[in-house]
Amino acid sequence: MHTVIDEPLSVGTLTGADADIRNCDFLADAGNIPDASIDLIVADPPYGLGKDYGNDSDMLSGEAFLEWTYRWLDLAIPKLKPSGSLYIFCTWQYSPELFVFLKRHLLMINEIVWDRRVPSMGGTTRKFTSVHDNIGYFAVSKDYYFDLDPVRIPYDAETKKARSRKIFEGSKWLELGYNPKDVWSVSRLHRQHAERVDHPTQKPLQIVERMVLASCPPGGRVLDPFMGSGTTAVACARHGRQFTGHEINADYCAIAESRIAEARAARLRQEQPARPRSKALITTDTAVQAAE
Ligand SMILES: C[S@@+](CC[C@H](N)C(=O)[O-])C[C@H]1O[C@@H](n2cnc3c(N)ncnc32)[C@H](O)[C@@H]1O
């Protein structure tokens, strides 16, 4: 099944942004995506850890997992434009092999560590508890698109004040905010989290939004070959990027579609000019003022 949600998001810059949801296996469908048509790939594939996605896609391990990963990467990489880039979520168990493979095809820009802010509990006593995911960030060429400004983190008032001495005065960076750096400390989505939907490994929007805003130009197209609940699609809907995503579980596709619709409705509400106050109200207010 293949759904294209193509209602205009708003007048102006976002008109025509679409979300192309494909309920099928990315590896089977990749041939239908034109080469050099994608600005950014955000890939959050099965990690090979045995999670239940309503299918057996996370049951591969060892060499079989790596061989499958290399296969889909070989299909995905040619889809990128010369200015394009790719983020891949993975774990420390496989990141060494995956990064070596990717470095043979692309330019490595960063390894980002996602600190999931897992609370301290009992856990293992034979090694250090693992609380992070590895994210590889790669680009096709040195001319890759990257815009830091939309993802800068504002300085808090205290820091601004502390840095307001003469030597810092007029420092543009103090107003613009700072580079998020390569360790991203963002809580995983626990069951009660407001953002959480019915998907076992849903990623926080904050993380994916940072990737989309920094690495895909406005109006550009993002590909997510393992879409899950559609977090990347939501980031695109919120920020005027086009989206193509694959997911083999039809229930997750339905969740993604409803999340996109919600994000679009919220965006439209936000962009709607404030309603003029009704005549009746104005009259009443005026009457109250006159009486005062
Ligand atoms: C780690 S989850 C993605 C979670 C997603 N980032 C989110 O925030 O919801 C990986 C997803 O890939 C799907 N999947 C596995 N193999 C696939 C394939 N060959 N093609 C498309 N989707 C696949 C799984 O069903 C699962 O939902």
Going by alpha carbons, the residue nearest to atom 18 of ligand 1 is 25
Name the nearest CA neighbour of 38 among 86, 90, 74, 4.
86
188-218 pLDDT per residue, tens = 999 999 999 999 999 999 999 999 999 999 9
Question: Residue 83 has what pLDDT?
Answer: 98
Average pLDDT of 283-290?
A: 39
Ligand 1, atom 3, lies closest to the CA of 228
Positive or negative: CA dihedral 225, 226, 230, 234? negative
In angstroms and rounded to an integer, the radius of gyration of the C-alpha atoms of the chain is 22
Mean pLDDT value of segment 61-86: 98
pLDDT of res. 169: 61
Structural element, H or E, at residue 218: none
Give tens-digit pLDDT for 20-32.
Answer: 999 999 999 999 9
Work out the average pLDDT over 34-43: 98
**Please, are residues 65 and 57 in contact by the beta-carbon 8 Å criterion?**
no
pLDDT (tens digit per residue) in 216-260: 999 999 999 999 999 999 999 999 999 999 999 999 999 999 999
Which one has a higher pLDDT value, 267 or 211? 211
Residue 278 pLDDT > 70: no
Q: Is the pLDDT of residue 98 over 80?
A: yes
pLDDT (average), residues 45-66 = 95
Pocket of ligand 1 (CB under 6 A): 25-27, 44-46, 53, 55, 57, 199, 201-203, 226, 228-229, 231, 246-249, 252
| Mean pLDDT across the chain | 88
* Bridge partners of residue 80, in order along the sequence: 38
| Ligand 1: centre distance to CA 193 (Å) | 21
**Mind listing the pLDDT tens digit for each residue in 130-186?**
999 999 999 999 999 999 999 999 988 888 777 766 666 666 777 889 999 999 999
How far, in Å, from the CA of 86 to the mean position of ligand 1? 16
Closest CA to 111 of 79, 133, 80, 128: 133
Q: What is the pLDDT of residue 174?
A: 78
Q: Which residue puts its alpha carbon closest to atom 16 of ligand 1?
A: 57
Residue 203: DSSP 8-state:
P
Query: From ligand 1's centre to the CA of 247, what distance in Å?
Result: 6
Report d(CA 156, CA 154) in Å as an integer.
6
Domains and CATH numbers, the chain: 2-291 (3.40.50.150)
| pLDDT computed for residue 119 by the predictor | 81
Residue 13's pLDDT band (boundaries 50, 70, 90)? very low
Question: Distance (Å, rounded) from C-alpha 1 to C-alpha 195?
Answer: 26
The one-letter amino acid at 114: W
| pLDDT computed for residue 141 by the predictor | 98
CB atoms within 10 A of CB 63: 9
197 CA closest ligand 1 atom index:
9
For a pocket test of ligand 1, which of 248, 249, 255, 258 has the largest count of ligand atoms closer than 8 A to its C-beta?
A: 248
